[in-house]
Every structure is written in structure tokens, then in C-alpha cells.
Amino acid sequence: MHAHEDTIAAISTPPGQGALGMVRVSGPQAIEVVNRIFHPKDLSQVPGHSLHYGQIVQGEEVLDEVVVGVFRAPRSFTREDVVEISCHGSSYILQQCLQLLLEAGARPARPGEFSLRAYLHGALDLAQAEAVADLIASSSAAAHRLAMDQLRGGISRELSQLRSQLLDFTSLIELELDFSEEDVEFADRSQLLQLVSEIDRRLQGLIRSFQYGNALKEGVPTVIMGKPNAGKSTLLNALLQDERAIVSDIPGTTRDVIEDRIVIAGIEFRLQDTAGLRETADVIEAEGVSRTLALAQRASLLLYLFDLTTETPQAAYQYVRSLELPPQAQVLLLGNKLDQLSPPLPHAAQLQFEGIAGVHFLSAKTGQGLDALRQALVEAVQAFSGPGEAPPGQAIISNIRHLDALKKAHQALQDVQQGLQAGLTGDLLTIDIRTALHYIGEITGEITTDEVLGNIFGKFCIGK
């Protein structure tokens, strides 16, 4: 198996017509292969990180006028020689170009193979390689930012801080085990407990960030609920009409809902209207209740729309409370038909209900209050990462593999904390600590015993 020794090529822009398209070639023969079909310059002589204008030729015939970017190993994405051919975006040209490359000695790349090579060459760690995949799949600005941040090692940075705290903690525990006969001061239990709970807090922050990270990556599942005639479809249409960046309409095939995607401030919202149930007589009392509620249980964001002319905010709150929604969901109460109300109600912002992220009055018909609603939607998403912690600058995980490892590490640290409180001896505590280290190590790399001992010798006077 010597996959890295051959040269691979693939069309790197999505299928379909576009102004430009790109074919990427990577491998030891990348430059040589492209050179065979490129005129007039001799690419074998050009430096890395350079662009060259020329033609892709098929025998005597010119296929397209192109610009090629030459990147020489190891200063390229895959750390191999890489050539990127930018041609015109017709799928015919792209296909032909690829065909020529294959005839010239390249092999078609398998999905993800460029990233795999970058990973195998150590250009990316696993977390970064996964971020590349996310980057490619990102459909909104926020998802893109998140993937870019991970690519640059944002999560690796946070994890390396976490790792060094764990190293310190482990060292303190090991100190009293291996050096119990030494004349050094051992950390007391409350100090250890404080340290481990700080580490655990960091872990939990990362775990919580998954909801936010995943929302950014996958879109925020947003459910609009309300009694008949509260104006759900009007609101939906108003949001959609105003928002030009409609991504897609997905007809409810497997679910009795219609999902519309809108992007606000770079965040994608997957608006789920209980459309299939709309026609049944009463959303709340009819059989559809359970299905609506099941949907609500999965939602990260829940918009409860009520008719200001027939229902007070207090009544709406009482009703939402009776639904026993999941605690992690952000709930907004939206009073509709503000335009039909006179005299107006007191200011909505002054209304505060426990467990409710905000109350807004609006008119879906006139568009009054919709800007404030959009702002509120964005803020609600940012609140996912936990109270008091602003997402910008914080590492956010969006990868299910990381989440799984972090959750297991968190569980092990819970055991450590319980053990500390129960007065468990250090050697038994370390079994759980090692479990935590093992799982975090799946993301960051292991902590070695040499590091632990080095840390101890650096900080404590050991040696009778």
C-alpha cells in the first residue's frame, strides 16, 4: 500500500455551471503531469507558490485558457507537489481537463484523498483534517468561520491548555504516590478538587459548545409553534420574503413538517413549521400534539407565536410552561398582530419569564418588529454555548468524535471528583484520571509518564 507515491487529480469545484472551475493535482509527478498538457511555459522550472497563464492542450487543439498555480513540496496543502488548474467553469472543459491529466499519468482521487494526504504527511492533525471536510461542506458564513478556526488549530489550542492542566493535576497526585517519603508538601484534597473541577469546567464548556458548533455547522433546528391563526405561516413567509438567501425548500417527505432554510448574520436556521398539522382543526388539542411536541423536544430554538389580540403574554407563558419543553432549548415568545392592537401593550422587553429567552411583539403582516426578531434569533444561538460565555474567540467543537471523547473524559473526571470527596487514595483516583487522559489523548495525543515525572522534578525538590 503506497498510496502516497502516486499522483492524484480531481475536479475540486462543485458540479454544475460556474464562471470558473478548478482541477487539483497532487503527488510527486504533479508538475510533470500538468506540464505534459500545458503550454507554452515549462512548469518544471518555475518556483513554488507561483501562478502561470497558459493553455491546456489536447494534441494540437487548445482546450482552454487557464491559470495554473504551482506549489512545491512541502509548502503545499498536502505537503506534496500540487498544481491547481483554474479553467472556465464548463463541466465539459473540466471533464476533458481531468481526462487529459489521467492520460498524462495521474490517477483519479478518491473522496477526501487530498485531505488524507495532508493528514498522512502531518500537515494537518486529525482535528484539522476533519475541519477541512467541514469547510468543504459548510453552507453558511458561520459554519465556514468555525471550520476555518478549527483548521487553524483553535480547538487544538484550547485542548492543549486543558492538557497542561491535566498534566499538573496528574503530577500532584503522582507526587504523593511515588514520593510519599520525600520531604515535600503535598496538595491537599480541596486544592486537588478545585483543580479537577476547573479542568472539568473547561471540558464541559467544550461539550456545551458542541450544540452551538453543531448548530453553526448543520443549521439551527428552529420550530415555530402556535395556535391556529396565530399567524405562523405569515411570519414564516415574512422571514423568508425578507431574507433573500433562501437556501432550499425541503418538502416534508418523511416528516410532517416543511423545512425552510434562511441565513441571518451568517447563521443558518432550519425553520420547521408544523405545516402538516396546520390543517388539522386544533394544533394543541388534536392528535398532532404529540408529533408537534416530539419535534419541539428536538429543537434548539423554539418560537412560540401567539395572537396579541386574543392572548396575553402571561397566558402564552403559562401555556408554554405546560408543554414541559427541554431545558436546553431557547424559547422565544412572539406576540403577533401588533398592528391590530390599540392602545399598544407595555414594552415587550420588560417582560421576563423564567426559562424564556425573550418576549417580542411584532407584526408579521407589516414587518414591524422583524428586525428585532432576527437579532433575537442570532443572540439565542450564541447563548447555546452557555451562560456568560461569548462564543467569539472560544474554541467550539462541532465534531461528533470529539464530543464522544470529551463526554467520556468528563464522566471519568466526575468519578475523580467523587473519589476525592469520598477520600479515595491517590492510586485509585489515578485509574479514573488515566481514563480521562486516554480519551482526551484521542484528540490531543497522550500524556506520557516522562512528562508527568519531568513536571514533578521541575516543581518539587525530590531526592533524599
Partner 1 sequence: MFPVYDVVVVGAGHAGCEAAAAAANMGMRVMLATMNMNTIAQMSCNPAMGGVAKGQLIREIDALGGYSGIVTDKSMIQFRMLNRSKGPAMWSPRSQNDRMRFAETWRLMLEQTPNVDFWQEMIVGIVVKNGRVSGVKTSLGLEIPAKTVVLTNGTFLNGRIHIGEKSFGGGRSGERAATGITADLIALGFESGRMKTGTPPRIDGRSVNWEAMEEQPGDEKPGTFSFTDTQPLKEQRPCYITYTNAKTHEILRSGFDRSPMFNGRIRGLGPRYCPSIEDKIDRFAERDRHQLFLEPEGWNTIEIYVNGFSSFLPEDVQYKALRSIPGLEEAKMFRPGYAVEYDFFPPTQLNLSLETRLVENLFFAGQINGTTGYEEAACQGLMAGINAARKVQQKEPLVFKRDQAYIGVLIDDLVNKGTKEPYRMFTSRAEYRTLLRQDNADLRLTALGYEIGLASEDRYRRMLQKQEQVEEIQLAIAHTSVAPEQIDPYLEHIGSAKLKQKVKAISVLTRPKVKLEDLARFVPELAAALNGKNPEAIEQAEIQIKYAGYIKKEKDLAVKMMRLDDIYIPENFNFKKIAALSAEGREKLQLARPRSLGQASRISGVSPADISVLMVFMGR
* Least distance in angstroms from the C-beta of 282 to partner 1: 53
Over its C-alpha atoms, the chain yields an Rg (Å, rounded) of: 29
40 cis-preceded (ω within 30 degrees of 0): yes
Q: Name which position in 60, 61, 181, 354 contacts partner 1 (CB under 8 A).
A: 181
* Least distance in angstroms from the C-beta of 198 to partner 1: 22
Q: By C-beta, is 77 or 304 nearer to partner 1?
A: 77
Q: Which stretch binds partner 1 (CB under 8 A): 82-90, 300-308, 378-386, 428-436?
A: 428-436
DSSP string, 328-345: TSEEEEEEE-GGG-SSPP
Q: Which stretch binds partner 1 (CB under 8 A): 115-123, 132-140, 146-154, 260-268?
A: 115-123
Cα separation, 121 vs 4, whole angstroms: 9
Task: Indicate whether 125 belongs to the interface with partner 1 (CB under 8 A).
Answer: yes
Residues listed for the chain: 464
* Least distance in angstroms from the C-beta of 48 to partner 1: 18
Task: Indicate whether 114 belongs to the interface with partner 1 (CB under 8 A).
Answer: no
Task: Indicate whether 461 belongs to the interface with partner 1 (CB under 8 A).
Answer: yes
Find the Cα–Cα–Cα–Cα dihedral 103, 105, 109, 114, rounded to 10°: -140
Cα separation, 78 vs 8, whole angstroms: 11
SS3 content of the chain, % helix, strand, coil (to 5): 50, 20, 35
Q: Which stretch binds partner 1 (CB under 8 A): 254-262, 281-289, 389-397, 443-451?
A: 443-451
Task: Indicate whether 92 belongs to the interface with partner 1 (CB under 8 A).
Answer: no
Cα separation, 273 vs 255, whole angstroms: 11
Angle at 382 between CA 249 and CA 375, to 5 degrees: 65
Pick from 278, 275, 268: which is nearest to 301 by CA? 268
* Least distance in angstroms from the C-beta of 217 to partner 1: 24
The CA–CA distances, whole Å, from 248 to 3, 213, 261 equal 38, 21, 6
Task: Indicate whether 341 belongs to the interface with partner 1 (CB under 8 A).
Answer: no
Q: By C-beta, is 244 or 464 nearer to partner 1?
A: 464
Q: By C-beta, is 126 or 193 nearer to partner 1?
A: 126
Task: Indicate whether 423 belongs to the interface with partner 1 (CB under 8 A).
Answer: yes
Task: Indicate whether 418 belongs to the interface with partner 1 (CB under 8 A).
Answer: no
* Least distance in angstroms from the C-beta of 132 to partner 1: 15
DSSP string, 367-413: -TTHHHHHHHHHHHHHGGG-TT--STTS-----HHHHHHHHHHHHHH
Residues forming contacts to partner 1 in the complex (CB under 8 A) are: 1-2, 4-5, 119-122, 125-126, 174, 177-183, 423, 425-428, 430-432, 434-435, 438, 441, 445-446, 449-450, 452-453, 457, 461-464
